């Protein structure tokens, strides 16, 4: 007999917002840039991703998720990695990561 703890709760409700994301049918590479990308090319790609985010009905839920996890790569909730890192830094959250 398998016993399932009452402490375990379904996570569907926590992630259900993703079904309504404007990015759902968009190539993820539009939001997750090559780590070696720099300059105008990088900025243009970020702007294109943010344009999709700006049409999204779950933009705030996406950003809340990205800041709470934290998601350290890509555009989430209409914000770039650098923008989210600045918010987290102001909250006193520091992290280090190595890009491979």
pLDDT in tens, 66-76: 999 889 899 99
Non-local CB neighbours of 23 within 8 Å, separated by 6+ positions: 30, 31, 49, 52, 53, 56
Q: State pTM to two decimals.
A: 0.80
User: What pLDDT is recorded for position 1?
Assistant: 54
Region at 5 (left for phi over 0; alpha for psi -120 to 50; beta for the rest): beta
Per the prediction, the chain carries an average pLDDT of 86
Whether the Cβ atoms of residue 74 and residue 46 lie closer than 8 Å to each other? no
């Amino acid at each position: 007999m398998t016993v399932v703890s009452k402490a375990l709760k379904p996570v569907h409700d926590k992630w259900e917002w993703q079904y309504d994301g404007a990015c759902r049918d968009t190539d993820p590479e539009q939001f997750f840039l090559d780590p070696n990308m720099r300059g105008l090319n990088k900025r243009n790609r970020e702007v294109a991703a943010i344009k999709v985010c700006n049409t999204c009905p779950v933009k705030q839920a996406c950003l809340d998720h990205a800041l709470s996890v934290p998601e350290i790569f890509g555009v989430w909730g209409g914000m770039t990695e650098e923008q989210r890192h600045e918010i987290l830094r102001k909250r006193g959250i520091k992290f280090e990561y190595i890009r491979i």
